[in-house]
């Protein structure tokens, strides 16, 4: 076991890019960014390792860049856990509290959480996180810190997330081969939430939607805790492919067109913009063709509506209230018009989830982009758990439970 260094390192291994953020604790529970690096990602499909060697190289490049910027050597990182098979389920478990005065101990709480998460899993699956929502003592609900309270019946409500074990094992292998230890693995949407959400968002309820390249993950929060998890097998790559097919251009040209001029909301285009012309070079041709912004938008808008409707349906099916609305993050939240279309589809206030610059200092330039939310969230999680204090960096009521839970999580593994 390595000594924990002062720095917190977040390593976001995504399907399109690997990102590394190095942070140092600063006053008031804040984090100073001292280094960051990124590299094109190879060897992953929908967040799952398909070629270890390529993933190792991408990790090494991103980490080396962050090391160069910071002048530090990275030995250990907090890493994202992704994959389209992640499944969340909210469960409850009850235990009797015994002993003098019937004061609830850490052991009782552990037993209650264990009882809530006793479940039959398919072969090759594992529980990857147990996120306490609240505790109920002798019928009194809404309790977040049960230890030391009196009672005879303790019930735990827990959001249990499971995944095929191969997903984490292959990431662990790649990170180790890149010469790094893993401090913790954190569910990607949970890391994105730590990187972007305020206490009010998680308390009053919101849907955090992290739209990456090939995967979109969502967590619904309420009363300071995770209430629902869902993963969708699509992301920004869908738009790139639509452009490539619709305009007969290469994937790399399509990606460039999407980023430079793509817009998924026709109603945002002014009259002049509608007629603005883009030059494209179809595959196998040497001469260019002209295309109006309006046509590009006609290709992208129906897809945006379709994907967002899937997500909105999941929110509706969850039955959760999202008074704080929808927070869209991940690289694909940056496509022009995405928030505006989402606002209509969800019929709820919607905003882009940027890394929380209110609690970040140092080298924040360049990180003010939703594609950095996960890496920043991973570094923040690492910093919070080593500080052991409920810094103002995310959850409110759930925060303390979650932090305390960090410490006992290992015992269940
Ligand atoms: N300015 C932009 N305009 C349009 N799309 C963008 C922009 N910036 C990034 N993207 C898209 O965001 C996606 C990458 O997002 P992100 O870095 O969150 O994904 P990832 O973590 O690599 O992938 P995943 O989470 O799916 O494994 C790509 O599809 C990219 O085209
Ligand atoms: Mg991602």
Kindly report the three-state secondary structure assignment for every residue of 17-30.
EEEEEEEEEEHHHE
Cα 38 to ligand 2 centre (Å): 13
Q: Which atom of ligand 1 is nearest to the CA of 18?
A: 22
Q: Are 301 and 265 in contact (CB under 8 A)?
A: yes
> Residue 393, Cβ neighbours under 10 Å: how many?
25
Q: Are 287 and 311 in contact (CB under 8 A)?
A: no
Beta-carbon contacts of 312 under 8 Å, excluding residues fewer than 6 positions away, are 345, 346
The model's pLDDT over 137-187, given as tens digits with 9 standing for 90+, comes to 999 999 999 999 999 999 999 999 999 999 999 999 999 999 999 999 999
Q: What do you get for the CA distance between the two ends of the chain, in Å?
A: 17
Q: Are 383 and 1 in contact (CB under 8 A)?
A: no
Q: Which atom of ligand 1 is nearest to the CA of 13?
A: 21
Task: Give the C-alpha separation, 46 to 233, whole Å.
Answer: 7
Exposure string of 50-73, with b = 16+ CB inside 10 Å and e = fewer, is: eeeeebbbbbbbbbebbbebbebe
Strand, coil or helix: 153: strand
Residue to substitute in 212, 240, 367 for testing ligand 1 pocket (most ligand atoms within 8 angstroms of CB): 212
> Residue 290, Cβ neighbours under 10 Å: how many?
9
Task: Please give the CATH architecture assigned to the domain spanning 198-353.
Answer: 2-Layer Sandwich (3.30)
The model's pLDDT over 353-399, given as tens digits with 9 standing for 90+, comes to 999 989 999 999 989 999 999 999 999 999 998 877 443 333 333 33
Task: Give the C-alpha separation, 356 to 172, whole Å.
Answer: 28
- Mean pLDDT, 10 residues at a time, the chain of 413 residues: 76 98 94 97 94 98 98 97 96 90 93 96 96 97 95 97 95 98 97 97 97 98 97 98 96 96 96 90 88 94 98 98 97 98 98 96 94 98 78 35 43 38
Name residues contacting ligand 1 (CB within 6 A). 14-17, 41, 47, 82, 212-215, 235-237, 240, 255, 258-259, 262, 330-332, 334-335, 371
Residue to substitute in 39, 174, 218, 236 for testing ligand 1 pocket (most ligand atoms within 8 angstroms of CB): 236
**Ligand nearest, relative to CA of residue 237:** 1
**Ligand nearest, relative to CA of residue 235:** 1
Task: Give the C-alpha separation, 266 to 216, whole Å.
Answer: 23
In this structure, the residue with its CA closest to atom 15 of ligand 1 is 331
Exposure string of 155-187, with b = 16+ CB inside 10 Å and e = fewer, is: bbbbbbbbbbeebbebbeebbeebebeebbbbb
Both structure tokens of 125: 């699956």
**pTM for this one?**
0.93
Give residue 6's pLDDT: 82
Cα 34 to ligand 1 centre (Å): 24
Task: Give the C-alpha separation, 210 to 218, whole Å.
Answer: 6
**Ligand nearest, relative to CA of residue 255:** 1
Cα 44 to ligand 2 centre (Å): 11
Cα 20 to ligand 1 centre (Å): 15
Q: Are 329 and 370 in contact (CB under 8 A)?
A: yes
Both structure tokens of 166: 């191969």
Cα 371 to ligand 1 centre (Å): 6
Phi, psi of 58 (to 5 degrees): -65, -40
Give residue 2's pLDDT: 53
**Ligand nearest, relative to CA of residue 371:** 1
Give residue 112's pLDDT: 97
Cα 211 to ligand 1 centre (Å): 7
CATH, range 87-164: 3.30.1490.110
Domain layout of the chain by residue ranges: 87-164, 198-353
Is the sign of the CA dihedral 174, 175, 180, 181 positive or negative?
negative
Task: Give the C-alpha separation, 129 to 161, whole Å.
Answer: 5
| Cross-strand partners of 10 | 21, 78
DSSP classification of residue 258: H
Q: Which atom of ligand 1 is nearest to the CA of 211?
A: 18
């Amino acid at each position: 076991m390595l000594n924990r260094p002062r720095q917190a390192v977040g390593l976001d291994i995504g399907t399109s890019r690997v990102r590394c953020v190095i942070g140092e604790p600063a006053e008031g529970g804040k984090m100073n960014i001292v280094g960051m690096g990124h590299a094109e990602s190879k060897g992953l499909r929908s967040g799952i390792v398909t070629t270890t060697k390529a993933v190792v190289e991408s990790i090494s490049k991103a980490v080396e860049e962050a090391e160069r910027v910071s002048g530090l050597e990275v030995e250990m990182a907090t890493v994202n856990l992704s994959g389209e098979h992640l499944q969340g389920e909210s469960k409850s478990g009850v235990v009797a509290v015994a002993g003098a005065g019937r004061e609830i101990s850490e052991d009782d709480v552990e037993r209650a959480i264990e009882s809530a998460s006793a479940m039959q899993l398919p072969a090759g699956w594992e529980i990857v996180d147990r996120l306490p929502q609240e505790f109920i003592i002798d019928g009194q609900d809404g309790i977040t810190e049960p230890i030391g309270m009196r009672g005879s019946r303790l019930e735990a409500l827990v959001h249990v997330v499971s995944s095929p074990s191969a997903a984490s094992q292959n990431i662990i292998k790649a990170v180790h081969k890149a010469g790094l230890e893993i401090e913790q693995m954190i569910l990607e949407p949970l890391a994105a939430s730590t990187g972007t959400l305020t206490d009010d968002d998680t308390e009053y309820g919101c849907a955090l939607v992290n739209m990456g390249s090939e995967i979109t993950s969502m967590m619904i929060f309420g009363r300071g805790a995770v209430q629902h998890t869902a993963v969708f097998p699509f992301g920004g790559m869908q738009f790139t492919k639509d452009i490539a097919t619709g305009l007969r251009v290469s994937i790399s040209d399509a990606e460039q067109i999407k980023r430079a001029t793509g817009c998924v909301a026709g109603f945002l285009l002014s009259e002049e913009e509608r007629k603005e012309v883009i030059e494209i070079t179809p595959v196998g041709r040497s001469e260019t063709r002209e295309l109006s912004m309006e046509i590009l938008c006609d290709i992208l808008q129906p897809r945006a509506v379709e994907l967002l409707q899937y997500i909105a349906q999941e929110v509706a099916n969850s039955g959760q209230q999202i008074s704080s609305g929808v927070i869209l993050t991940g690289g694909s939240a940056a496509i022009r018009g995405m928030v505006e279309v989402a606002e209509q589809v969800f019929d709820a206030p919607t905003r882009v989830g940027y890394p929380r610059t209110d609690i970040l200092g140092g080298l924040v330039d360049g990180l003010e982009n939703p594609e950095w939310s996960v890496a920043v969230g991973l570094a923040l999680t690492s910093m919070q758990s080593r500080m052991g204090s409920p810094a103002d960096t995310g959850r409110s009521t759930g925060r303390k439970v979650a932090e305390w839970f960090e410490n006992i999580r290992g015992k269940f593994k």
